[in-house]
Structure 1
Amino acid sequence: MIDFKVHLENDIVSLVQTQENHFEGLYTVGMNPVIWEQHLDKDRWKWNNFRKYIDGGLDNKEGCFTIIDKEINKIIGTTRYYSFNQEEL
């Protein structure tokens, strides 16, 4: 089995495992409604919906990462792995 819970980085960004204390920084960058206009969950910018999204990431066994801009040392986003099952397509 692949260990998805690793630390990833290059010269520009660092991807660290998302932790509860990242929520405020993640919400600061994710609360702009424009970000979610073309997303299936257009209301994800709302606090309760965003909270549910981040909680899902924290519970994600494949891993959820907080993206940190290394130059300014600030949270700039999040990403995660999802399981894939060809039969579910």
Structure 2
Amino acid sequence: MDRQPNLEGERLLLRPLVRDDWDALFAVASDKRVWEQHPMHDRWQEPVFREFFDDALAKGGALAIVDRNSDQIIGSSRYQDYAPDDGGSVEIGWTFIAPDHWGSGINAELKRLMLEHAFRYVARVNFRVGESNHRSRKAMEKIGGALTDETYVAQLPDGPAVHVIYAITRESFANGPLANMNG
């Protein structure tokens, strides 16, 4: 599976994240509102975000989200943990979008593009969401994510953080809310 494809939608271009994207992406990430419900609520700070950014580049799978109208980077997302066995699975996550694009349908277009690409290779896509991140949990439900009984505990500087796992299968995607979007 190509975890760093170029994907194009009506309003978005997704492309591999590169080191030169630092300034534009940090301009988005430095808005405290982006991280207020996230388990890593201090990621708006330069040293904390630098670690996140460097990790994204090192692991591969990171994409810059570019607004096609303005040609500006408005966020980032990743494909992680690709597992080809048993029909295959991959995780989509580490997504953040500039607050001025919240509620605009950008997240739905982003996830539709990423899911369409992923389902060429895998039968299931997982999403790991902080248990108390109600904004992201609501967004997952809106795009057809099904809450599983799986959890993940991340060891963070402030202590353990419980994450819940949502899943979208190839079949649920084909019959879900994103299947009817223009694209």
Q: Work out whether the TM-score is over 0.5.
A: yes
TM-score, reference length from structure 1: 0.88
Q: Which runs of 5 or more structure 1 residues have no equivalent in the other structure?
A: none
Shift of 1:84: 6.2
* Corresponding letter in the other structure for 1:67: I
Q: Give the distance between the partners of 1:66 and 1:84, measured in 2 at CA.
A: 19
TM-score, reference length from structure 2: 0.44
Q: Give the distance between the partners of 1:36 and 1:26, measured in 2 at CA.
A: 14
Correspondence list, 1:45-60, <5 A? 45-60=44-59
Counterpart of 1:82? 80
* Corresponding letter in the other structure for 1:45: W
Correspondence list, 1:1-20, <5 A? 2-20=1-19
Higher CA-based Rg = 2
* Matched-pair identity in %: 29
Segment of structure 1 superposing worse, 12-21 or 2-11: 2-11
SS of the equivalent of 2:5 reads coil
Q: Which runs of 5 or more structure 2 residues have no equivalent in the other structure?
A: 84-150, 153-183
Q: CA RMSD in A?
A: 1.7
Shift of 1:80: 0.3
* Corresponding letter in the other structure for 2:16: Q
Q: Give the distance between the partners of 2:58 and 2:10, measured in 1 at CA.
A: 29
How many residues in Structure 1 have an aligned counterpart in Structure 2? 85
Q: Among residues 69, 72, 85, which one is paired with 1:71 in the alignment?
A: 69
